[in-house]
């Protein structure tokens, strides 16, 4: 199913991969985004798992935590972008955008969302 943009700024059927080292966040973000009409096709807690799922599932959007445990989420974003076939990458973090401005600007991500602001509308706004 291809994504459909609705007037209320939500995407229906947008295939999404979430990459975060916190299982509780993966659970809650998946539930939230699914309830708002996105299709969470995969969840990864490590860079290797993210790359495998990314290649296998070919999501339309990937949400990648900047601090992925012991791994560098920004480096993973570069690796995913080099392999992307139309997938757009959004960085996520508990840190504020102000703290990460230079890192975000230097990354191939289409934008940044604080985890507290994560939602279908916010994702849709970045993808416009």
CA atoms within 13 A on the CB side of 70: 1
- In a structure prediction context, what are the per-residue pLDDT tens digits for the chain, which is 128 residues long? 444 444 444 456 899 999 999 999 999 999 999 999 999 999 999 999 999 999 999 999 999 999 998 999 999 999 999 988 889 999 999 998 888 999 999 999 999 999 999 999 999 999 98
Do 51 and 80 touch, CB atoms closer than 8 A? Answer: yes
Q: What is the pTM of this model?
A: 0.90
Q: In the chain, what are the domains?
A: 4-127 (3.40.50.2300)
Beta bridge partners of 5: 11
């Amino acid at each position: 199913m291809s994504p459909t943009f609705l007037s209320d700024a939500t995407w229906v059927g947008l295939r999404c991969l979430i990459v975060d080292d916190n299982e509780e966040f993966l659970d809650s973000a998946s539930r939230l985004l699914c309830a708002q009409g996105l299709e969470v096709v995969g969840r990864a807690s490590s860079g290797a798992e993210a790359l495998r799922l990314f290649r296998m599932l070919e999501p339309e959007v990937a949400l990648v935590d900047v601090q992925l445990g012991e791994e560098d989420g920004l480096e993973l974003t570069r690796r995913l972008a080099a392999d992307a076939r139309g997938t757009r990458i959004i960085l996520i973090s508990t840190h504020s955008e102000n703290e990460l401005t230079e890192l975000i600007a230097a990354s191939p991500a289409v934008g940044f969302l604080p985890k507290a602001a994560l939602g279908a509308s916010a994702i849709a706004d970045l993808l416009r």
